Amino acid sequence: MSDIFELTSIEPPELRRDYRSELKNSRTELASKMVMLREARLEPTPEIIVTAQFLIFMGLPSRSTPDRVIRKSTRMADGSQIVVTFTAMHEDVKLPYGSDVNMLHWMINRAIQTGSPFVSWETAQEYLSWMNLSKGGRTLKDLRARFERIAGLAITVQRTNSTDVETFVMPIVRASRLPKSVKAQKNVSIDRAEAQKQTQPRGLMFDESFFKDFIAYNVPMLKALLLLVSERPQLQQYIGFLGWRSWAASSPTLIPWANLREQLWHGDSNERRIKQRFKETIQALRIAWPELQAEARPKGLWLAPPLKGIQFIPSLPGPSRRTTPKQLRAGGGGLFSVADVANQG
């Protein structure tokens, strides 16, 4: 007869986390995703979306924050300064954060494609399929929450030069209409007035000024970048930033860490940390884009035009080639409407 097993303790054994192993696994996973990103960017016709310029050069918070207002700034090559203030307008709704930016990218791209500032709730649900997400009740609830945070965001843009201070205040969304519940309503009797309301389109209407701004100032992004690092919004932003500053650079440039902290790094004054994050991003991105010329140097981020002129999106035209929004919507030959980013380098 086998020995009787004696339970000596009802407490489960304490498990120690193997941080070294977790870090190794994380780096291996990231390297694999960068290999897939390289394959995607080298495809003859990679799938591309177009988004607002400020989301690449300023960006939203990477994680949830109790702050109702955050400010980011950047200095242009001509000496003028741009300060962008993000404000949560609704009392019980936070600022958009994290992966919310993916949905905002998608909605801006849809608005540019259709030439309309209105994005319907039904269309927004197509985002789930586009991002390979399930359409269960929990996912729809999360989608609605993202919709609400985006709809409650306002931005103030202040441009200061040697003679003037220009200020523009824009809600991202002018109006929205969402279903009260994300669950399908079955066997619910409604009166005629309520039935008429339900025929009204649900969705959001981008503010006209904001719509005109991203029609005029937009940048392309690889869909693969959004899919592969959707859970790492900060890494996604840094890759987008490196790709576009490299594209804009006509010669080598050094961006001081203090300037980058004001522009990208919300709620952290530690310059050593932002330097380390860029160092790690550059190492990873070189797997997908070996031609990248960037270094995290002691005094700042050094950038130069990519080797052999091969951009992160190889089919992307140089800064001197621009197209109109009309040409963009027509999808003419892989050309994109791009902002005058070269003036920032």
Residue 332: the pLDDT is 29
Residue 326: the pLDDT is 38
Residue 4: the pLDDT is 47
With vertex at residue 197, the alpha carbon angle to CA 184 and CA 115, rounded to the nearest 5 degrees, is 90
Residue 301: the pLDDT is 95
Residue 88: the pLDDT is 94
- CA distances to 160, 255, 297 from 75, rounded to whole Å, are 9, 10, 20
**Which residues in the chain show pLDDT less than 70?**
1-15, 17-20, 22-24, 76-78, 123-124, 180-199, 265-269, 317-345
**Helices (H) then strands (E): counts for the chain:** 12, 12
**Which letter does DSSP use for residue 82 in this model?**
E
Residue 250: the pLDDT is 83
Among candidates 274, 231, 190, 221, which has minimal Cα distance to 100? 231
Whether the pTM exceeds 0.95: the reply is: no
Q: Per-domain residue ranges for the chain?
A: 48-344
Among candidates 342, 268, 329, 287, which has minimal Cα distance to 50? 329
